[in-house]
Amino acid sequence: MSGGRLLAVSDLHVRYAENREVVDGLRPGADDDWLIVAGDVAEYFADVRATLALLRDRFHTVIWAPGNHELWTLRDDPVQLRGEARYRELVSTCRELGVLTPEDAYPVWPGPDGPVTVAPLFTLYDYSFHAPGTVNKEESLRRAYDAGVVCTDEMLLHPDPYPGRDAWCAARVAYTERRLAAIDPGRPTVLVNHFPLVREPTRILRHPEFAQWCGTTRTADWHLRFRAAAVVYGHLHIPRTTRYNGVRFEEVSLGYPREWRPRGVAFLPRVVLPAAPA
């Protein structure tokens, strides 16, 4: 049995020089430490590749789940792929580097509290975390635009070939659900998704209208159905540990320098397993 740890980070946003310094300081405590990277490494394709390559050289195993920023197609990025094609190219790059993705066989972590299946997921969002006082996507988006709270995804995250991000989300949820159902039913899991699997973490957002870009109600029971020992997510830039239905949820974001400077970065990478004593 391994004596290493299962560690996690997300939202590294390495276009910021201060964040690149933080990433340069991410090192394993032991040769058999694994690292989960739960999305939003960078916006430019080359930066995603370089960062994951750096981490893969250091950690025994690196597991990546995409965020929304990796899927942006910026006008000056030499890689102009959009939507599904961009995601597939990111997966191909990860495979060249030896980084595991949502399209690969789920690895089994053998360390203390193991064996545990670690499942990186890619589910996107479908606007079903409606803005307060609204009952459908159209009303929710209108409320967000009226409030001036609009995710940049609306301009830069293209859903090609799907008609919308919500349609892409539906396809990803159906595909992922089938894969999770095939995991050995006697084995616990660590579910890794950039977006929170349940709505509750979004209740503390300063701008509640933003929640609609943060997940889907379709995944609300996955932590129970698929025997999660822990759920790892990011996206909100509010690192904390919470519990829902008795399951531990770890938000493992670094975030932007203005967000993490007051609290420091000593909490990263977050230890997911072995679990700390209660």
**Phi and psi dihedrals of 80, rounded to 5?**
-100, 15
Q: Which two tokens mark 29?
A: 């405590």
237 has pLDDT over 70? yes
Of residues 37, 33, 42, the one with CA closest to residue 233: 37
pTM recorded for the entire structure:
0.96
* Length of the chain (residues): 278
- The CB density around residue 31, as the number of other CB atoms within 10 Å, is 11
47 has pLDDT over 80? yes
Q: Which residues contact 14 (CB under 8 A, 6 or more apart)?
A: 20, 23, 41, 42, 47, 51
Encode the chain in three state secondary structure.
Answer: CCCCCEEEEECCCCCCHHHHHHHHCCCCCCCCCEEEECCCCCCCHHHHHHHHHHHHHHCCEEEECCCCHHHCCCCCCCCCCCHHHHHHHHHHHHHHHCCECCCCCCCEECCCCCCEEEEECCCCCCCCCCCCCCCCHHHHHHHHHHHCCCCCHHHHCCCCCCCCHHHHHHHHHHHHHHHHHCCCCCCCEEEECCCCCCCHHHHHCCCHHHHHHCCCHHHCCHHHHCCEEEEEECCCCCCEEEEECCEEEEECECCCHHHHCCCCCCCCCEEEECCCCC
1 has pLDDT over 50? no
Q: How does pLDDT run across 55-96, given as a tens digit for each residue?
A: 999 999 999 999 999 999 999 999 999 999 999 999 999 999
Q: How does pLDDT run across 96-145, given as a tens digit for each residue?
A: 999 999 999 999 999 888 899 999 999 999 999 999 999 999 999 999 99
Look-up: residue for tokens 């989300």? 169
- The CB density around residue 203, as the number of other CB atoms within 10 Å, is 9
Q: How does pLDDT run across 256-275, given as a tens digit for each residue?
A: 999 999 999 988 999 999 98
Q: Are 9 and 272 in contact (CB under 8 A)?
A: no
Q: Which two tokens mark 6?
A: 């299962």
- The pLDDT value recorded for residue 40 is 98
Q: Which two tokens mark 74?
A: 């910026």
What is the average pLDDT across 179-189? Answer: 97
